[in-house]
Amino acid sequence: MKVSALAKMSGVPAATIKHYVREGLLPEPSRTSKNMAYYDVSLVPRIKKIKELQRTRFLPLKVIKSILDESELESEDETVGATIARVLEQTAPTERRTREELIASGMPEEQLVWLRGAGLITPQPDSKREVYAGDDLELLRVLGASRKAGITAEMLPVTILGEYAQALRTLVEIEVRMFREGVMPRAGDDLPALTEAATTLSERLVIVLRRRMLVPTMRALAEQAKRSRSAPPPAPKKRTPRRKAE
């Protein structure tokens, strides 16, 4: 809508709305020509809130912008977080296993203790006993399957998962930052649906990229090791004879 209509709906003069735009409290309007601009009708509640904070709190516009941006971001983050949790819950195993059952099935107790201490698994909060479920249980099962396949603790110690977690945490931070900067500001009412799609597709994307990079990386490391073995040893440093004390 034109700024005159937006001013009428929000009860704020057109000149004030344009000032809010210049101060960064409102986004730039869409322009069809130099003198023709159209504003999103969804800005009405934000404009009213800005004016209310000015009138009742006597806050400067920079402070108001910070307050509004933070509250909107928290609301969006809550929506995204709830959607991601729901998607992950749908794909996670529904079984539950106690600590005693896991140890009886072959999970070494010291590994269970280490994984819990590292924060990679967390017992269910609603149980009096130490019970694991969902992705925590799936992680333990993957470790158990690797041992049954002959990959011993000496070959792949459980502590290596600390390095895995550190690398994946960086990847997840990049994913979240890209989503917040690229999708959330443009999603509008489609945010829950886009979050659900992104959560499902990102796991597939990581798997495909890992498969795509695995063989080239192994070849590059093998070539690097080959060059290291064939490189001539460094020449010994010549010793400068010490002068005898007179």
Identify the CA nearest to 25 among candidates 5, 56, 52.
52
Average pLDDT over residues 94-118: 90
Confidence (pLDDT) at 150: 93
Question: Nearest 5 degrees, angle CA 218-CA 111-CA 114?
Answer: 95
Domains 3-59 and 95-173 share a fold: yes
32 phi, psi to nearest 5 deg: -95, -20
Identify the CA nearest to 28 among candidates 38, 16, 36.
38
58-67, 103-112, 159-168, 222-231: segment of lowest average pLDDT:
58-67
Confidence of residue 237 (pLDDT cuts 50, 70, 90): low
How many residues does the structure list for the chain? 246
Instruction: Quick: pLDDT tens for 27-77.
Output: 999 888 878 899 988 888 889 888 888 887 777 888 888 777 766 656 666
pLDDT at 208 over 90: yes
* CA atoms within 13 Å, Cβ hemisphere of 125: 0
Question: Nearest 5 degrees, angle CA 236-CA 238-CA 243?
Answer: 150
Residues 74-97 as b or e (16 or more Cβ within 10 Å = b): eebeeebeebbeebeeeeeeeeeb
Confidence of residue 17 (pLDDT cuts 50, 70, 90): very high
What is the residue-averaged pLDDT of the chain? 84
* CA atoms within 13 Å, Cβ hemisphere of 3: 19
Confidence (pLDDT) at 94: 80
Confidence (pLDDT) at 211: 92
Q: Where are the domains of the chain?
A: 3-59, 74-91+183-228, 95-173
Amino acid type, 106? G
**Cα torsion 62, 65, 67, 69: sign:** negative
pLDDT at 143 over 70: yes
pLDDT at 167 over 80: yes
Percent of the chain at pLDDT above 90? 29
233 phi, psi to nearest 5 deg: -65, 150
Cα 33 to Cα 2: distance, rounded to the nearest angstrom:
13
Confidence (pLDDT) at 127: 67
Confidence of residue 98 (pLDDT cuts 50, 70, 90): very high
Question: Which CATH code of 1.10.3720.10, 3.20.20.70, 1.10.1660.10, 3.40.50.300 fits the domain covering 3-59?
Answer: 1.10.1660.10
pLDDT at 106 over 60: yes
Average pLDDT over residues 18-35: 88
Look at 79 and 175; give whichever has higher pLDDT: 175
CA distances from 84 to 76, 80, 88, 196, 200 (A): 12, 6, 6, 6, 9
Confidence (pLDDT) at 227: 86
Confidence (pLDDT) at 149: 93
8-state DSSP, 12: S
Structure token pair of residue 221: 């490391």
CATH fold of 95-173, please? Multidrug-efflux Transporter Regulator; Chain: A; Domain 2 (1.10.1660)
